[in-house]
Structure 1
Amino acid sequence: MAKQQSQNGKYKSKKTEDLAGVTKNDANEFLTTNHGVRINDNQNSLKDGERGGTLIEDFILREKIHHFDHERIPERIVHARGSAAHGYFELNESLEKFTKAKLFTETGKKTPVFVRFSTVAGSRGSTDLARDVRGFAVKFYTDEGNYDIVGNNIPVFFIQDAIKFPDLVHAVKPEPHHEMPQAASAHDTFWDFISLMPESMHMIMWVMSDRAIPRSLRMMEGFGVHTFRLINAAGESHFVKFHWKPLLGVHSVAWDEAQKISGKNSDFHRQDLWEAIESGNFPQWELGVQIIPEADEHKFEFDLLDATKLIPEEIVPVQRIGKLTLNKNPDNFFAETEQVAFSPAHLIPGIDITNDPLLQGRLFSYIDTQLSRLGTHNFQELPINRPLSPVHNNQRDGHMRQTINKGRVSYEPNSLGGGCPFQAKAAEGGFTSYPERIDSQKIRSRSKSFLDHFSQATLFFNSQSEAEKNHIIDALKFELGKVETKAIRERVLMLLSCIDKALATPIATYLGLSIPSAGKGALLNGSFPADANPEDYQPVMVKSSLEKSDALSMEHTPKNSVATRKIAILVADDVDEKALLNMQHALEAAGAVAELIAPKLGSIQSANNTEFPIMKSFLTTASVLYDAVYVPGGTNSVATLAAEPDAIHFLNEAFKHCKAIAADKDALQVLEETAFYNSLNEEDPEDNGMNTGIVIGADGAADSNIFIKAIAQHRFWDREKQVKVPA
């Protein structure tokens, strides 16, 4: 795909050009019907006299109302709430040794992509900050056809077999008798299902961790979840796992903060993604692969085909091969973000599926869902789904067909059409399935290698920092505290005890329960076939060969940048202009976004009578929407803020959520009003800012370099156990 240049010199893909061909701008145009007839009066329907009845012959009214009545399509059953963007993927390292897919063999090539992020359980109108898995789906518009990596921000899944997927979704959705709660797993039906499915426990650890409440869509990992195949030109197969590694690092919010953000701005992630792209701070991820030779399929202590397992990076390192950049927002949310159709069955030559039973079911489910949602198998002809490579086949007609096919032939083989379109040989780019040898009987069963449900859950928990472990425990307290049925709580506690007693004990204490014994047979419950021998489904208690894996903890994510972080600067009239501008310029030079917040909108004046516009007030924004807070000096500004309860609450809340806070030495009067001031080390109030995250400036201005380094640390989680702040 030859790259093109837009007027501003930024990369513009062929896909962007194609979409431009069907994109309309109504500016300076006459209003028309859908058939192109200009409308003279769009304010009044046609009536039988001024006060008479509306006439059915009013074709303008009928067309407008009919279109409106049918504007909404069924929302996705899962992943209904989404955000998306255009961009490109550039390959840096060829995988020609492993695959013939040009996408992964032609270095330097920029392949257009459309990426959709989503929450799973909630409806389209739910909050961005629900505790939930996040979808991470990438559509590559390659020269060989469309290829989709349909993944999540968590590398494993709840279940091993797709036949359980409807049950999982039914359980996590709002309970059917009263349709509550929305976009939340903290209720009886979900935990009832989980308590009877020990295979879910690894995924539960991830969902109860901070990974389920990301700071930004731009700051979360993505995973292909399943094991796929790479096929090279010689027909040799290797297994592969896909990873998306964000250049900004992996960061989260606090749970209390997530709940407050949901009330303050339920579009927090959507707005963050949109604004980052509009401002030119293009989100980027590196694509990594874990490649396993076919001969090594069975050498691991877990099954490669088990979607509830991951491959620790210490065992198979992630090889980074290219970069994904999102550089353009959609022009129309419905036409692009809502109508885009992904499927793991959208494959290209050189990439194939495996016998993962969860993946196998998804191949059917995704296409079937698109038929229901978009109303036609011609969904691939919608502009956002249309491949860049030409489409030639004998499929015709159907609801909303857009292609006008010429000629009399719609079958194959044929002679009347000269045999066209021809089948392609493998050497000509034809897709060939990997000829995996199969010699087995039809059976409804699972491999014994799928019966280890706890070793990787334990590995995940052991790999977390102390703060992360505490957050998992608190999340489980919250979730199970919402469960009303005692027996469900007890079954979950039993499963948690199989992961780690140190995990289960504080939760049991909080719930006022004892941990039931997880003896032989106790973990089976109803999670096996009716005629099966229960012994065949008894979980295997294994210990991982790894004590911990650094890649599983966000503690080890890059913390060397404040790019795109939002910093609140609290100001009022008579602010110290020099201190304000010095900090603002330093933050912006480091790539952060600084916003002035005052008691009221309009503008303020500095001590030097310089006017500063104010776009946010304490009434219209909140600390939970920012990454850090700075208070400059200025006698009257400081006095105003010190007497402003909302300003003090802003600081208390930022401290409670462990964010970096800076204040000029002249602004100590404001900090003195906070609930946390007395906890600061009076003998060494600066503390370099790197232990407490509180930076007190000297000589009338905060040390911007120390503050910026503190912001880059993301959070100072030790504060959670040191000081309880009423905020």
Structure 2
Amino acid sequence: MTDRKLTTSWGAPVGDNQNSITAGHRGPTLIQDVYLLEKLAHFNRERVPERVVHAKGGGAHGFFEVTNDMSQYTKAKLFNGTGTKTDMFIRFSTVAGELGSADTLRDPRGFAVKFYTEEGNYDIVGNNTPVFFIRDAIKFPDFIHTQKRDPQTHLKNPTAVWDFWSHSPESLHQVSILMSDRGIPATWRHTHGFGSHTFKWVNAEGQAVWVKYHFKTEQGVKNLDVDLAAQLAGENPDYHTEDLFNAIEKGDFPSWKLCVQIMPEEDANTYRFDPFDVTKVWSQKDYPLIEVGRMTLNRNPENYFAEVEQATFSPGTLVPGIEPSPDKMLQGRLFAYADAARYRVGANHNTLPINRPKVEAANNFRDGAMRHDANGGKSVYYEPNSFGGPTETPENKIAPFAVSGVADSVAYDEHDHYTQAGDLYRLLSEDERTRLVANIVGAMKPVTLDEIKLRQIGHFYKADAEYGTRIAEGLGLEVPAAVVQK
């Protein structure tokens, strides 16, 4: 134990390593938070050449077809007009493992969809879970460090994992999902996908609503038994990659129904949970699922590197009618994902065939490594200009939104990290609860400090007394008296 001060790379002390600087409590995040930018930019450059996260994955081509016109909510053309079809590409992945790791590890699954629309590309970069471990991007590099290898032993470090989670109670909801049966999908085809974050839809009249994306698998949800998953990790570590390729190759095309939850803009100020907190879900009783369309995968890549490894995604790859929300985790990802692509694939990653939009890009970006097209030719290379170069279109400006408050490093107003995790536990059957507890106990046993175990047990207990008590018993410990008395 030391009392060393946390500093920036230039030696200045860090005053807040938990909350990014925002305009008021809801933000948006301010670019003047140079420590946040430094931290995310450095994090994106820590590994060469594979992805920092989501390194192991596979993908396929397909199409999306609208089954329910959404023009009353958004002017985004890919969601307008029943029968509208849009080509798309999807990449599935695990989060923490390296490029050669096993597909069947307990881990969230990345669910990243690229739509090649007539207005440019649109990316939904989500997971197979509706929530995430943290809710502020400033904590993301620290979180992922705990999922990677110890810098001394080069081994996975359960103590680091649970130490971070126990100090970050907002992770409890996602941890409960991860440790449940859903933590190891049977295949990529048998799992749901989620945009996870809240986004803003804006219609042609400028009216806005908040939206969450749900991709519902039409193959049914199936999960793997932990022992079978471990066996497959040794016998066929590429099990999920192989399954998706073979299914499409033989004509068994997987499909998902895309639904959304829609929240009126003004409800964000009164809903019982902060609708921009990615560790929370919106109740489907409050905001029911509305069908939008159907996604079908029907074509395998011809070359893995060119189409899967070089595919780049960013939640900031948006089209008119779709905008970000003040979700602090999303705000950080808007920068970090595109920056990671520029580092990993290059400044001109969007000119590669897998990433290139169907509409011709018209901008003043020039030069850079691996520029393989005409580099803008002899056209005008600045704006504004007097020579007919590309110009802005004011009708595609973002919908204005109000901000308030004092610029500061502030946490979310709401700190109920336990209600939704407890509700999830109580929704499970007794068999599912038993497996959940067993998975958590098995994962926590290697933790070297009882202090960490007891802190985490306290979180489980606050979510549900039975939940925490059963885990404590499995670890041969007592629920901390201070937690029970509260």
Q: Normalising by structure 2, what TM-score?
A: 0.88
Paired letter, 2:174: M
What is the distance in 1 between the residues matched to 2:431 and 2:234?
Answer: 25
Paired letter, 2:152: H
Larger Rg: 1
Preserved CA contact (<8 Å) 2:379 2:389: no
The one of 456, 465, 469 equivalent to 1:501 is 465
Q: Give the equivalent residue in structure 2 for 1:444.
A: 409
Whether 1:353 and 2:316 are equivalent positions in the alignment is no
Partner deviation per Cα, 1:266-307 (whole Å, 9 max, x = no partner): 111111101100010001000000001112113321000101
Preserved CA contact (<8 Å) 1:413 1:419: no
What is the distance in 2 between the residues matched to 1:189 and 1:519?
Answer: 23
Partner deviation per Cα, 1:647-681 (whole Å, 9 max, x = no partner): xxxxxxxxxxxxxxxxxxxxxxxxxxxxxxxxxxx
Q: Give the equivalent residue in structure 2 for 1:113.
A: 88
- How far off its partner does 1:248 sit? 1.2
What is the distance in 1 between the residues matched to 2:208 and 2:194?
Answer: 21
Q: Give the equivalent residue in structure 1 for 2:143.
A: 168
The one of 292, 305, 315 equivalent to 1:334 is 305
SS of 2:437's partner is helix
Paired letter, 2:227: D
Paired letter, 1:81: K
Whether 1:299 and 2:281 are equivalent positions in the alignment is no
Q: Give the equivalent residue in structure 2 for 1:263.
A: 234
Paired letter, 1:187: P
Whether 1:423 and 2:360 are equivalent positions in the alignment is no
- How far off its partner does 1:393 sit? 1.1
Paired letter, 1:502: E
What is the distance in 2 between the residues matched to 1:251 and 1:408?
Answer: 54
What is the distance in 1 between the residues matched to 2:226 and 2:76?
Answer: 42
What is the distance in 2 between the residues matched to 1:292 and 1:167?
Answer: 32
Whether 1:287 and 2:262 are equivalent positions in the alignment is no
What is the distance in 1 between the residues matched to 2:199 and 2:379?
Answer: 40
Q: Give the equivalent residue in structure 2 for 1:85.
A: 60
What is the distance in 2 between the residues matched to 1:112 and 1:408?
Answer: 30
- How far off its partner does 1:113 sit? 0.4
The one of 102, 120, 123 equivalent to 1:145 is 120
Q: Give the equivalent residue in structure 2 for 1:662.
A: none
Q: Give the equivalent residue in structure 1 for 2:480.
A: 516
| Aligned sequence identity (%) | 45
Preserved CA contact (<8 Å) 1:140 1:147: yes
What is the distance in 2 between the residues matched to 1:422 and 1:496?
Answer: 55
Q: Give the equivalent residue in structure 2 for 1:378.
A: 348
Larger relative contact order, structure 1 or 2 (CA cutoff 8 Å, min sep 6): 2
Q: Give the equivalent residue in structure 1 for 2:455.
A: 491
Q: Give the equivalent residue in structure 2 for 1:223.
A: 194
Preserved CA contact (<8 Å) 1:455 1:499: yes
- How far off its partner does 1:484 sit? 2.0
Whether 1:394 and 2:368 are equivalent positions in the alignment is no
What is the distance in 1 between the residues matched to 2:359 and 2:230?
Answer: 45
Whether 1:321 and 2:292 are equivalent positions in the alignment is yes
- How far off its partner does 1:135 sit? 0.3
- What count of residue pairs does the alignment treat as equivalent? 439
What is the distance in 2 between the residues matched to 1:518 and 1:76?
Answer: 43
The one of 125, 131, 134 equivalent to 1:159 is 134
Q: Give the equivalent residue in structure 1 for 2:13.
A: none
- How far off its partner does 1:106 sit? 2.2
1:518–1:216 distance in 2 versus 1, CA, 3 Å: farther
- How far off its partner does 1:455 sit? 0.4
SS of 1:95's partner is coil
What is the distance in 1 between the residues matched to 2:116 and 2:279?
Answer: 30
Paired letter, 2:389: C
Q: Normalising by structure 1, what TM-score?
A: 0.59
Q: Give the equivalent residue in structure 2 for 1:74.
A: 49
Preserved CA contact (<8 Å) 2:61 2:298: yes
Paired letter, 1:479: A
- How far off its partner does 1:222 sit? 0.4
Q: Give the equivalent residue in structure 2 for 1:674.
A: none
Preserved CA contact (<8 Å) 2:109 2:128: yes
Preserved CA contact (<8 Å) 1:92 1:323: yes
What is the distance in 2 between the residues matched to 1:250 and 1:356?
Answer: 28
Preserved CA contact (<8 Å) 1:494 1:517: no
SS of 1:297's partner is helix
Q: Which segment is superposed worse, 111-120 or 440-449?
A: 440-449
- How far off its partner does 1:510 sit? 2.1
Preserved CA contact (<8 Å) 1:100 1:231: yes
- How far off its partner does 1:446 sit? 1.8
SS of 2:400's partner is coil
Root-mean-square deviation (CA, aligned residues, Å) is: 1.6
SS of 1:273's partner is helix
What is the distance in 2 between the residues matched to 1:259 and 1:313?
Answer: 34
Q: Give the equivalent residue in structure 2 for 1:343.
A: 314
The one of 453, 456, 459 equivalent to 2:417 is 453
1:468–1:94 distance in 2 versus 1, CA, 3 Å: same
Partner deviation per Cα, 1:2-49 (whole Å, 9 max, x = no partner): xxxxxxxxxxxxxxxxxxxxxxxxxxxxxxxxxxxxxxxxxxxxxxxx
Q: Give the equivalent residue in structure 1 for 2:103.
A: 128
- How far off its partner does 1:408 sit? 5.4
The one of 125, 134, 159 equivalent to 1:188 is 159
SS of 2:481's partner is coil
Preserved CA contact (<8 Å) 2:203 2:321: yes
What is the distance in 1 between the residues matched to 2:61 and 2:79?
Answer: 19
SS of 1:136's partner is strand
What is the distance in 2 between the residues matched to 1:283 and 1:408?
Answer: 44
What is the distance in 2 between the residues matched to 1:300 and 1:260?
Answer: 45
Preserved CA contact (<8 Å) 1:91 1:323: yes
- How far off its partner does 1:197 sit? 0.8
What is the distance in 1 between the residues matched to 2:291 and 2:400?
Answer: 28
- How far off its partner does 1:407 sit? 2.2
SS of 1:141's partner is strand
Preserved CA contact (<8 Å) 1:495 1:518: no
What is the distance in 1 between the residues matched to 2:84 and 2:393?
Answer: 24
Partner deviation per Cα, 1:118-158 (whole Å, 9 max, x = no partner): 00010010000100000000000000000000000010011
Paired letter, 2:447: V
Preserved CA contact (<8 Å) 2:66 2:292: yes
SS of 2:398's partner is coil
The one of 262, 279, 297 equivalent to 1:308 is 279
Paired letter, 2:62: G
1:304–1:177 distance in 2 versus 1, CA, 3 Å: same
Partner deviation per Cα, 1:589-635 (whole Å, 9 max, x = no partner): xxxxxxxxxxxxxxxxxxxxxxxxxxxxxxxxxxxxxxxxxxxxxxx
Paired letter, 1:223: F
1:240–1:137 distance in 2 versus 1, CA, 3 Å: same
- How far off its partner does 1:367 sit? 1.2
Which runs of no fewer than 5 residues in structure 1 stay unpaired?
A: 1-71, 523-540, 542-727
- How far off its partner does 1:519 sit? 4.4
- How far off its partner does 1:468 sit? 1.4
